[in-house]
C-alpha cells in the first residue's frame, strides 16, 4: 500500500468506563489519531458480534471493542461475556479469511483517558500495517468475481 492509507476504525465503548475515558482524554486535551469513530453502548456486553461484522462489511478496516476492567463492570460481569464473544469473533474472522488482529479488545476505566489514547494510537498503527480490508467481491451466484487470492494483503 501507499503511505496515504488511512485506516477507518469503528470503536465500541461502554457508557460507564471507556466512553468516559474518551471524555476524560478530551477534557485533558490528549491527542490521538483521528481514525477511530466511536459508538456508545451501555455495556460491552451489549456488543452483538454482528455489529462487528456489520462495521467490517460497511468499510471499517478494524474494530476496537472497549469495556470496563475485569471485576469493574457496571453490570457486575457482562464484560466477561464481551471477552468470550471477542475470542469467538476472532476465530470466526480467521475462518472467513480476515486477519483476527483487525479486532482488538481494550479495558479502559473512566480514569484511563491516557490508556485509551495510547491504545487507539497503537491500534491505528497496527491496522495501518495490515493495510485495507479487502472483502471478496461476491457475484449473485455466491462466487467471487475476482480470481485473485481473496485475503492476501500486500504490504
Residue 22 lies near other proteins (rule: CB under 8 A): yes
Shortest gap between Cβ of 141 and other proteins (angstroms)?
Answer: 26
Please tell me the distance from the alpha carbon of residue 34 to that of residue 149, in angstroms, as a whole number.
Answer: 31
Closest CB to other proteins among residues 47, 98:
47
Q: Evaluate whether 30 touches 120 at the Cβ level (below 8 Å).
A: no
Q: Give the length of the chain.
A: 155
Please tell me the distance from the alpha carbon of residue 121 to that of residue 115, in angstroms, as a whole number.
Answer: 10
Shortest gap between Cβ of 102 and other proteins (angstroms)?
Answer: 14
Give the contacts of 144 (CB within 8 A, at least 6 positions apart): 136, 137, 138, 150
Residue 134 lies near other proteins (rule: CB under 8 A): no
Instruction: Tell me how many residues contact other proteins (CB under 8 A).
Output: 50
Cell digits for 8? 477507518
Binding to other proteins by CB under 8 A, coded x per residue (else -) over 45-84, reads xxxxxxx--xx--xxx-------x--xx-xxxxx--x---
Closest CB to other proteins among residues 12, 104:
12
Residue 53 CB-density burial (10 A; 0-12 exposed, 13-18 middle, 19+ buried): middle
Residue 135 lies near other proteins (rule: CB under 8 A): no
Interface ranges with other proteins (CB under 8 A): 8, 10, 16-17, 19-20, 22-23, 25-27, 29-32, 34, 37-43, 45-51, 54-55, 58-60, 68, 71-72, 74-78, 81, 85, 109-112, 117
Amino acid at each position: 500500500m501507499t503511505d496515504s492509507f488511512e485506516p477507518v476504525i469503528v470503536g465500541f465503548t461502554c457508557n460507564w468506563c471507556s466512553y468516559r475515558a474518551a471524555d476524560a482524554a478530551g477534557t485533558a486535551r490528549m491527542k490521538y489519531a483521528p481514525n477511530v469513530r466511536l459508538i456508545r453502548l451501555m455495556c460491552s456486553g451489549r456488543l452483538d458480534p454482528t455489529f462487528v461484522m456489520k462495521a467490517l462489511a460497511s468499510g471499517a478496516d478494524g474494530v476496537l471493542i472497549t469495556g470496563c476492567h475485569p471485576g469493574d463492570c457496571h453490570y457486575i460481569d457482562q464484560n466477561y461475556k464481551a471477552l468470550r464473544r471477542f475470542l469467538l469473533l476472532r476465530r470466526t474472522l480467521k475462518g472467513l479469511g480476515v486477519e483476527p488482529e483487525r479486532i482488538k479488545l481494550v479495558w479502559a476505566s473512566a480514569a484511563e483517558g491516557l490508556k485509551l489514547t495510547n491504545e487507539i494510537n497503537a491500534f491505528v498503527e497496527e491496522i495501518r500495517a495490515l493495510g485495507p480490508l479487502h472483502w471478496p467481491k461476491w457475484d449473485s451466484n455466491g462466487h467471487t468475481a475476482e480470481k485473485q487470492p481473496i485475503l492476501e494483503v500486500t504490504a
